[in-house]
Structure 1
Amino acid sequence: MKMLTKISRIAKNIYFELYSFSRNLLLIKNRKTDQRRRLDSSVLNCVVSYNKYGGYCIPKSSCHRPAARAVLKKRIWEPNTIQYVIDNCGEGDVIHAGTFFGDFLPAFSQAIDSRATVWAFEPNIESFRCAEITINLNDIQNVELRNTGLGEKSDFLRLATKDVNGVSLGGSSRILNHQPTNASGTEVVQIVTIDDTVEQNRHVSIIQLDVEGYEKQALAGAIQTINRCRPIIILEILPDSNLLDSDWFKDNILALGYRKTGEVHNNSIFRCNT
């Protein structure tokens, strides 16, 4: 009888130990799940890939985008655009807007003069954070990266970062022409001008814009810099844009002596003849 009582006591102790252990495991699991839920909006979900120019931090949400797909396959996105900048940047600074995750930054950084700077602009916060990591992966010291968009004046505007199905737009994120007070798939971003950002004592050799329909506003905010430096202007224009045929472009860019001299990929190249 004493033996049965002892066995019963031991069995109860084991049961309570197992119960307590299982309960603690469940609490730990729930706590980790709660932490993941809290961190989902702040933890950067990304992947690193490489090509001949260096390493890149790519947001997983944008791995379906063409530039991301190319780099994930160890290829170069828009190699001819990159090569054109390499061949023509000379001794001046390069302004690069629409930086995305920094797919042009390692190449531009290696190409520019030792005294020059790449001024990079990316308003999408997720893309900006990835571009920061791309800079660190390559130990880049000559890039000034800003978490801003470019416009004709300083402002705060809504940037569309997701499509109607909630899928990330990545490098196709765009400033909305009609500014809703609140809209899903958007974020409020800071807008700055090139003229206010790049010091007047800097010589700019190239302005390269991939700003998804906001080229006119970005150029309007760079008129002083364009007048002073006469840089090569490289514009990626959306198919439905009439910017190049507009009176504004004729009066403010072509009137300075600029002419279209070629194309690389979907980019139009303008050089000043005066």
Structure 2
Amino acid sequence: MANDPRDLNGQKLNAALLMLGRDRQLRQELVQWLKQAEQRIGYKGSVRDDITGPIIDALHCDADVYEKTLADGTQFQFFYRTKIARDFLLATSETPTHVWEPQTTRLLKYLAAHSDSDVLVGGAYFGDHAVLLGRQLSESGRHVHCFEPNQAQAGMLLSNVALNGLDNLLIRKQGLWDEGSQKLRLDGFDSFANVVQVGAAEEGFETVTIDDYCADQGCHLSLIMLDIEGAELRALQGATQTLRKDRPAIVFEVHRDYVDWSEGLLKTPICVLLSSLGYHIFAVRDFNTNQEMGMLPIELIPADHVYLEGPPHGFNMLAVLDETSLDRSLFKRVENVSPKLLRHKNPALHHPFDGMPGR
């Protein structure tokens, strides 16, 4: 009826929460209260995703910016735009050890420490991994080559480089592809956007291959990290000379929205390519959030023993030429479990073998 006071579609509620969130102090108090509420709500699903997260999201707009400092002193500014920003903001510790994906962060830092050439990060975003690697390599004379075509996030990455006084990150607003001088655009929102090829006259950004970029820069790579929403295969197809010559370790994302793994991971085109070059391939077990893991081992699942059932999801993978180079005190090989660590799912499939962190 016309005078029904109920907000059945939630429009009034969302507008009210956004208005509350325009007061920074009030927003901070509300966020802190919701963090406390997460510890008290009894719920079988994900409290963050289903209950507190949507409320916190409604307090924000895309222009809201936060600053946060890690335990090692690394400083970050970031837009509140995706789950990455939300979960970083809601980290249990006021000074967490990482921004996103704890085990992947530790893996990247390990691989960078045990090599002697440059690092390339495709999908550098605001620097959640790239800035940490830049700080780690700042005294070594090595560089981190960053590719981020999202203009707003590339600008934030530049700010974070300056904020941390780094001079060894090289930032390109190009897309990594198997052909150079092509035109792409981003389709989707922020970190969820995938690339779409467009005509030369349309708006977009240019592509470059890793092979051409390395030849132009005269650089060698010991580590490649790719999180580019389905363009990972095309980027590696444009890097075959570099892979044969430099033999870098590779950390890359796969997602069922872009990768058909119905016949197993090893039969996907990206794993076929890497296997043909002699790489050993593993899925990395990790939380897709900010979650302190302490010194729990980084669990790696051989690509032919990964549990892949469930709704569409993605996870990171590792490709190395010599699997014996992975320190056994830090890494643990496991089989027939999911790479997705999830607190609210079946412990036999989704919890670390050595126990859930924080318990």
TM-score normalised to structure 1 length: 0.71
State whether residues 281 and 319 of structure 2, in contact with CA within 8 Å, keep that contact through their aligned partners in structure 1: yes
Corresponding residue of 1:50: 69
State whether residues 75 and 164 of structure 2, in contact with CA within 8 Å, keep that contact through their aligned partners in structure 1: yes
Higher strand share: 1
Match of 1:232 among 249, 257, 264: 249
Within a 5 Å distance, the mapping from 1:19-168 to structure 2 comes to: 46-53=65-72, 54-59=74-79, 63-73=80-90, 74=94, 75=96, 76-89=99-112, 90-112=115-137, 114-154=140-180, 155-160=182-187, 162=188
**Paired letter, 2:109:** I
Moved more, 82-91 or 256-265: 256-265
Match of 2:210 among 186, 189, 194: 194
In 2, Cα distance between the equivalents of 1:234 and 1:108?
A: 14
**Paired letter, 1:145:** I
From the superposition, tell whether residues 71 and 140 of structure 1 become closer, same or farther in structure 2 (CA, over 3 Å): farther
Shift of 1:65: 1.0
In 2, Cα distance between the equivalents of 1:142 and 1:264?
A: 30
Match of 1:210 among 227, 235, 238: 227
Gaps of 5+ in 2: 1-62, 287-314, 324-359
In 2, Cα distance between the equivalents of 1:66 and 1:51?
A: 18
**Paired letter, 2:260:** N
**Paired letter, 2:65:** C
Higher helix share: 1
**3-state DSSP class of the match of 1:257?**
coil
Shift of 1:273: 4.0
Match of 1:269 among 318, 327, 331: 318
In 1, Cα distance between the equivalents of 2:133 and 2:208?
A: 22
> Does residue 256 of the first structure (1) align with residue 277 of the second (2)?
yes
TM superposition outliers: structure 1 runs of 4+ over 3 Å: 44-47, 179-183, 243-252
From the superposition, tell whether residues 80 and 45 of structure 1 become closer, same or farther in structure 2 (CA, over 3 Å): same
Instruction: Give me the identity figure in percent.
Output: 27
Gaps of 5+ in 1: 1-43, 163-168
Q: Which has the larger radius of gyration?
A: 1
Shift of 1:46: 3.5
**3-state DSSP class of the match of 1:211?**
coil
State whether residues 50 and 72 of structure 1, in contact with CA within 8 Å, keep that contact through their aligned partners in structure 2: no
**3-state DSSP class of the match of 2:120?**
strand
From the superposition, tell whether residues 69 and 229 of structure 1 become closer, same or farther in structure 2 (CA, over 3 Å): same
Shift of 1:121: 0.5
From the superposition, tell whether residues 182 and 66 of structure 1 become closer, same or farther in structure 2 (CA, over 3 Å): farther
In 2, Cα distance between the equivalents of 1:93 and 1:150?
A: 17
Shift of 1:67: 1.5
From the superposition, tell whether residues 48 and 182 of structure 1 become closer, same or farther in structure 2 (CA, over 3 Å): farther
In 2, Cα distance between the equivalents of 1:245 and 1:251?
A: 6
Shift of 1:267: 0.6
In 1, Cα distance between the equivalents of 2:277 and 2:196?
A: 29
Shift of 1:216: 0.9
State whether residues 117 and 221 of structure 2, in contact with CA within 8 Å, keep that contact through their aligned partners in structure 1: yes
State whether residues 125 and 191 of structure 2, in contact with CA within 8 Å, keep that contact through their aligned partners in structure 1: yes
In 2, Cα distance between the equivalents of 1:250 and 1:80?
A: 21
Shift of 1:55: 1.6
**Paired letter, 1:153:** E
Q: CA RMSD in A?
A: 2.6
In 2, Cα distance between the equivalents of 1:248 and 1:236?
A: 13
State whether residues 51 and 71 of structure 1, in contact with CA within 8 Å, keep that contact through their aligned partners in structure 2: no
State whether residues 214 and 220 of structure 2, in contact with CA within 8 Å, keep that contact through their aligned partners in structure 1: no
State whether residues 146 and 172 of structure 2, in contact with CA within 8 Å, keep that contact through their aligned partners in structure 1: yes
State whether residues 257 and 273 of structure 1, in contact with CA within 8 Å, keep that contact through their aligned partners in structure 2: no
In 2, Cα distance between the equivalents of 1:182 and 1:231?
A: 36
Corresponding residue of 2:260: 242
State whether residues 225 and 251 of structure 2, in contact with CA within 8 Å, keep that contact through their aligned partners in structure 1: yes
